């Protein structure tokens, strides 16, 4: 992890069947999945709405995937800071349930 890597992200768990063509709502969200399929959608309770979210912060460790590890709010994620892809994810100590994917949004920093 370098000083230029983001220190925190927001992870949004969304159903995989979301409309990949819809622009992601919010603060520069990037579609990413631990299974490699992009998952984007609109917020507001319909298809594509996040069913869970967590703010994760850098732990200073490297995960098993070789990417920086982030943790918080019951989630532990290995995130590629260049592509914003979630390369590994545990939710409450378990792998992400089939049919769900993770979307990440970079959090603002106070410097």
- Supply the pLDDT for residue 72: 98
Domain edges within the chain = 8-106
**Average pLDDT, rounded, for the chain:** 77
Q: Which two tokens stand for residue 63?
A: 């995960």
- Supply the pLDDT for residue 5: 76
Please choose, from the candidates 95, 52, 92, 67, the residue with its C-alpha nearest in 3D space to the C-alpha of residue 6: 67
Reported as a single tens digit per residue, the pLDDT across 23-65 is 444 444 444 444 333 333 334 455 568 899 999 999 999 999 9
Q: How many CA atoms lie within 13 A of 110 on its CB side?
A: 0
- CA dist., res. 13 & res. 36, Å (int): 14
Q: Which two tokens stand for residue 20?
A: 């990949």
């Amino acid at each position: 992890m370098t000083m230029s890597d983001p220190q925190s992200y927001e992870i949004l768990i969304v159903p995989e069947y979301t409309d990949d063509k819809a622009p992601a709502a919010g603060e520069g969200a990037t579609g990413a999945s631990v299974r490699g399929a992009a998952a984007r959608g609109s917020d507001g309770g319909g298809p594509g709405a996040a069913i869970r979210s967590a703010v994760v912060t850098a732990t200073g460790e490297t995960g098993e995937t070789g990417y920086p590890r982030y943790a918080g709010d019951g989630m532990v994620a290995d995130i590629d800071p260049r592509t914003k892809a979630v390369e590994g994810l545990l939710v409450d100590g378990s792998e992400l349930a089939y049919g769900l994917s993770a979307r990440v949004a970079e959090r603002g920093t106070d410097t």
